[in-house]
Structures are given as structure tokens and as C-alpha cells.
Amino acid sequence: MIFLQRFGAATLLVSCVLTTPASARSLAYVASSDGLTAAIKVIDVAAGTIDNSFPVEGGGVGPLALSPKGDRLYAATPTGLATIDAATGAVLAFVPDVNAFGLALSSDGTQAYGSGFGSVVVVDLKTSVVTQSIPLPETSGGIPGIAAANGNRIFATIPTANEVAVIDAVRNVVTASLPVRYLPQGLATSPNGRTVYVANYAGVVSVIDAESGERRADIRVMGRPTLIAASPEGALLYAALEDRPGLAVIATAAEQQIGEIALPETATALAVSADGALIYVGRDTSIAGQQDGSVVVIDAVSHLQMGEIPVGGRVRSIVFGPDANAKPVITPPHPAPTPKPPASGTFVYVTNFLSSDVSVIAVETQSVVGTIELPATFFPEAITTSADGTLAYVLGSNGLAVAAIDLKTERIVRLTGGVDTYLSRAIALAPNGGALYIGTYQGLWSFDPETLSPNFTAPDVMNDVYSVAVSGDGARVYAPRFEHHQLSVLDAGTLETIANVPLPEFFPTSVALDPVRPAAYVAVGGGITIVDTDALEVSSSIPGITETVSFSDDGSFAYAASSDLAVSVIDPPSGDRVAVSAGDRTGRGVGRVELAVTPDARFVYMNDDLSDRVFVFDTATRSKLADIEVGAVPSGLAVAKVERPEPPAPAASDGGCALRRDVAAPPWFLLLPLLLFVRRRRESKARTTDRDAA
């Protein structure tokens, strides 16, 4: 059977031949609970019907595991671990006080490993006794997953530590902690046990070599993966997305996403049949507090829903029984090779907040040609580049954290960890490269670009700096004050206040300086307020909802973006909006919209944090040219012309990713994404309320 899968810019031809003899009888086991009672439903896979139901005591049931022979089921319940006869449903043994969120068996089936918040419990399945509790760092969020691989190793995710613990299954000790990406949860192993795949909420699936215990690659996924399963021959991965109802389809050989399967609801459980022909997905169909669920059956070839099996409770786990007659033959997909980035040219750098990296877009091809990895808890907010195109400075959300990146090699060359109590927002570089200016919720700072250490802070600017701009001569810094409804003008050398210009409208979010005329354009939600930078007073305004504003290098045009991602072209001499593109979304996202203009003013780039894309606006046709998939929650943009002899070669030690740095985050910082989400919602509500009142 052959099908054509369209994803992104590539069209892939995938040939799949699946053979399952009619005489084969395959079973699937589904753990479900309605909040009061729990059961394991036995499904006849060929018939698509429930063949049996095994009641489970204790009012709940969680992860399941099946013995290598398929004759024993192991079920984690709120009170312990039950050993169940897979044919009759009889409880053969029960081990109390094993509360596991994930369950894995050793390769010989003699030991069970249950992952919890802060430990992995080891159970001897022959004696039904807890033999050991292996301590792990405490995790306060996410669901810790666990998987067995390579015969004698167990891998367990530690979500809020952004790590995977490697456990020696012979000695039952932690031998390593591998840094991965933000909030790792579900795991899957390849059929040969040599590779472990980790679903990170940050929009990345990490690839770990089970033998060496090293992370060798990261696979970008469009969405927020939490559950993951491998096809039986190992050619494909399926990752359940939490941010929308869908399964990301990943080719393991190419290590890239090749498609997405639509689902009716987000998945609560995920498994692939022994022949690879079917995908079972748990669906939550609860109504009015009554927990209910079903199993959605997906054809793995056509990606179409074949049916739905009600199970009478919320689906917690799914495992397929062995099928001795299943002999799948699948030809792995062969995606077109990724184009190499131009040796030199103009590039757009996009900071991705949740995936904690920087996407590199080549203007020549309008495609992502590289990804620069940052520490998993860096959460970049903004970026600025040097005038000569040699360096980029990325501002992390965790308080005055800055990374300096060599744009020729796309490697981190300097990194500072930040200050706990600060939430950063904006960054700008002086034209001569002599100083960095950082705006935070707590004030404005001057930093030394060489050492990435603070020089001094603005004594009169103590909070709510949302944007920063530096004058062309480097003498002044301009900072709109969100809650003070003013534009602060400061001496760049001392950050002493020169003037605070009151703004007629509330909640300024962005400032851009006219490179030709003495004017600062301030986005104030309901329009643009123009401040005369000589007289230091408001000179005029341009109506129209505006989130951010930017200029072409020659000052011939200004560009403004609204919350619905419409781009306006403004003629600075007249102050008129001479063109407005159609918007690309309705409503308001939780983040901000940013703009970046190429040096020749040919293209304008704009981020959309809701769809993980960057939109390209063609200034010649004054319409959208393309949209480009980037990382998770794009937050900042910058453009640079870079001269380099050839693309950087991937480093063998990190699987082709940029330099890996790991920065320990203080405990409060684990909630930073939620704090910023709430803050941004508050900003959006305040601006909306103010406009409605006006």
C-alpha cells in the first residue's frame, strides 16, 4: 500500500506492506477507571470488540506491563502492584505500597520497575517483594516515564529536572543522569533495545544511545509531545501531542517528523499493534464529572480512524499482546535531503521560548537551515545581533541570563546564568557593540558584552521595561514603561534619566527609532505614538491596533504588526498606513508579536507563538509570502548578514546540536513558564480592557 504524506515543504513517498495472517488472534489490554471502579478491558484486535473484562480492586488502575511470554499482566494501582493472569484475569500476587506512574520490566521479566515522584521502586516478580527503592531527584510536575532497553538498563525521566536517569538493572543503581530538553515525560525504545526516545514537552524528541548512555540527537516536533510509541520494526515513532489532538509521525532513520495524524481528542494513552498495522489511542470522553473513555483505532498506513471502542472509563494505559504470526515488512520513508545553508548571506534568528533554542532561517531559501541549542531551562525571550554580523546575544527569561553566540560557527561562546529574582524581557546592543541594554520586569540594566556581566542599573527605572532601543549615535537609550504609560529617555553611559515622556495611551509594548528623522515610534496597543526625540514630547499618533513596530534600515518605511498578525506599511513623512495585509489568526496569543526587517527591506518577518511559525511578509507585493515552522513558542527575532566560508560541521559529541551547557535552575524557576503565561494573559487583558473602555 502506498500513500503520499505532505508535511512542511517536503513531499514524502512512503511504501508500507503489512501482512497479518487471518488465523492470528491478537489481544490488547486497556486499563480504565471511572473514578470509582477500575478494570482491564481485553480487546480482540481483529474483531475490534471487548473480549473480556478484569476488575481491579482499589478504585483505580494506572500503567500496565506484559510479561515477555504474554501470560502475565502487571498493573499499577493506587495501593500497589498486581500480578494478573492474562488469560483469566485472576490476581496471582499483590505487592502493596507501589504507587507507580510508569512501569517497565527487565529483559528477562523477573523484575518490575515503577517510576514515581522521586524514586524508582524495584519489585522481584518471583517473590512479589519490593527489593529496593532507587532515589531520584524530586519532580514536581509532568509524568515521570520509564522504559527498559539494551537488556540491562532502565531509563527514567525526571520531568522538572530536565533529565533522564540511567539505571543499571543488574546492580539497581543510577549510573548517569542525561540532560535532555524541557519537561521530559514519555519514553519508547527501539525494537532492538539500542535506542531510547524521549518525548520532551518543549517540542523535541531526544534520541539516546542505550549502549553508551549518551544523547546523540534531538528531533524537532511540531507540538508538545508527552506520550511516545515505536512501530514494531522501529522505522516510525508516534508522539501524542498535548497542545492539540494529534500524533506526530517521525521517521527514525531520517530523525525528522514526516507527518501528523489528526485525533478527535488529545491522547490519554498510546500503543502500536504487534504487526504495526494499527495504532490504539486512549480518548477521554468524560461528561459532567463522569469519567469515561474509549480507544480510537487508527490505520497506521492511511492515518484514518477505523473505529472507536468504548471501555467505560478513562483510558490510563494500553499494551498489545504478542502475535507470533505477525510479520510486518515496512519500507522506511526516504525524505528529501535537508538543503545545506548558504555559506554566507542574510539570516533570521528566532528565539524559541519553550524549546529553548534558536532557529536559523536563510533568507535566500526562506527555510530553517539550522538550530542553535541553549540550556534546557534558558527559555529565551529576545535576541539582538552585532552590526558586523559576527555575534548574537540571546536573553534568557531566568533573570539577566545572556548567551553570546558566534554566528559564523553557530556556537555559544559565552554564557551567564542570570539572577534569580529578575524576569527578563528585552535586549539591545549599542551600535558600536560596546554595551548591552537589558529590560526586565524589575528595571533596566547595562551589561558588558565581553564578560556578560552587569555594569550598572538605571537608578530611576525600577520596573516594567518591555522594549529597549539605542540611538544611532549610541548616546541615548529609550525604554517604554508598560505600567507607567511613559517613554523613559536615558543617558546610555550612565542610565541616568534625561526625560520621562508621558504617553496619551496606556500600556506601551514596543519602541523603534526612525533612522533618518528625530522620532521614536511607540506601540501603545490602540496605535502608534510618535515622540519627537529632539523636543522630547509627543508630536503625533497613528491610529490602529499595534503590538510592535520596526523600521527599514534606510528609514523609508516603518512596519507595524497587530495581535491578529496583520502587517501595516507606514510612510514616515506622512504618518499614513499605506498598506495593511490580512491577519493570520483571530484572538490574542499569550505571548508577544515581534518584527524583523532585512537590511534591503525586501522582507519582514513576524513570529506567531500559537502556531510555532514565522510569517514572511513581502514588501514588494505587500502580502504574505510564506510561513516557516520553527521551534516551540517563538518569542524574538533578529536579522544579520553573515560571512562564512562554509556551514559549520556537526560535532560528534552532541549529535549535531549546538554547544550544550547545563545551568542549574533554582526551585522557584520551575514555575517560570506558568508565571510568564499568567503575566502575559494579564497584559493582554489589560490592553483589551483599556481599548474597550476607550
Distance CA 183, CA 157 (A): 9
Q: Please check whether residue 27 lies inside any domain of the structure.
A: no
Q: What is the pLDDT of residue 117?
A: 79
The region of weakest confidence among 6-15, 128-137, 592-601 is 6-15
Q: What is the pLDDT of residue 484?
A: 82
Q: Please check whether residue 224 lies inside any domain of the structure.
A: no
Confidence of residue 425 (pLDDT cuts 50, 70, 90): confident
Cross-strand bridge partners of residue 500? 488
Q: Quick one: three-class SS letters along 4-64?
A: EEEECCEEEEEEEECCCCCCCCCEEEEEEECCCCEEEEEEECCCCEEEEEEEECCCCCCCE
Distance CA 94, CA 167 (A): 24
- Cβ neighbours of residue 339 under 8 Å, at least 6 residues apart? 365, 367, 369
Q: Please check whether residue 608 lies inside any domain of the structure.
A: yes
Give the mean model confidence (pLDDT) for residues 133-161.
Answer: 81
Give the mean model confidence (pLDDT) for residues 474-478.
Answer: 97
- Within 10 angstroms of residue 534's Cβ, the number of other Cβ atoms is 10
**Whether the predicted pLDDT of 140 surpasses 90:** no
Give the mean model confidence (pLDDT) for residues 664-683.
Answer: 44
Distance CA 395, CA 400 (A): 7
Give the mean model confidence (pLDDT) for residues 210-230.
Answer: 92
Specify whether the CB–CB gap between 276 and 299 falls below 8 A: no
Pairing mode of beta strands 173-179, 163-168:
antiparallel
Kindly report, residue by residue over 605-634, the tens digit of the pLDDT.
999 888 889 999 999 998 889 999 999 999
Residue tagged 490488547 (cell numbers):
28
Give the mean model confidence (pLDDT) for residues 261-276.
Answer: 93
CATH code for the domain of 625: 2.130.10.10
Q: Which helix (H) or strand (E) holds 684?
A: helix 672-693
Cross-strand bridge partners of residue 32? 39, 315
**Whether the predicted pLDDT of 595 surpasses 90:** yes
Q: Please check whether residue 412 lies inside any domain of the structure.
A: yes
Give the mean model confidence (pLDDT) for residues 638-666.
Answer: 54
Q: Please check whether residue 655 lies inside any domain of the structure.
A: yes
Specify whether the CB–CB gap between 40 and 61 falls below 8 A: yes
Distance CA 458, CA 126 (A): 68
Total tally of structural domains belonging to the chain:
1
Give the mean model confidence (pLDDT) for residues 544-553.
Answer: 91
**Whether the predicted pLDDT of 328 surpasses 50:** no
Give the mean model confidence (pLDDT) for residues 305-322.
Answer: 92
Q: Please check whether residue 386 lies inside any domain of the structure.
A: yes
C-alpha cell at 605: 518577518
Specify whether the CB–CB gap between 436 and 395 falls below 8 A: no
User: Domain range spanning residue 411?
Assistant: 345-693
363 compared with 643, residue with greater pLDDT: 363
The region of weakest confidence among 279-293, 562-576, 597-611 is 279-293
Mean pLDDT of the chain: 84
Distance CA 398, CA 141 (A): 18
**Whether the predicted pLDDT of 694 surpasses 90:** no
Whole-model pTM: value is 0.74
Distance CA 358, CA 7 (A): 21
- Cβ neighbours of residue 526 under 8 Å, at least 6 residues apart? 505, 543, 544, 545, 546, 690, 691, 694
Residue 550 vs residues 143, 318, 469, 637: alpha-carbon distances, Å: 42, 52, 11, 11
Q: Rounded to 5 degrees, what are φ and ψ at 535?
A: -80, -15
Q: Which helix (H) or strand (E) holds 13?
A: strand 10-17
Q: Please check whether residue 482 lies inside any domain of the structure.
A: yes
Q: Please check whether residue 317 lies inside any domain of the structure.
A: no
C-alpha cell at 104: 517497565
Distance CA 444, CA 462 (A): 7
Confidence of residue 333 (pLDDT cuts 50, 70, 90): very low
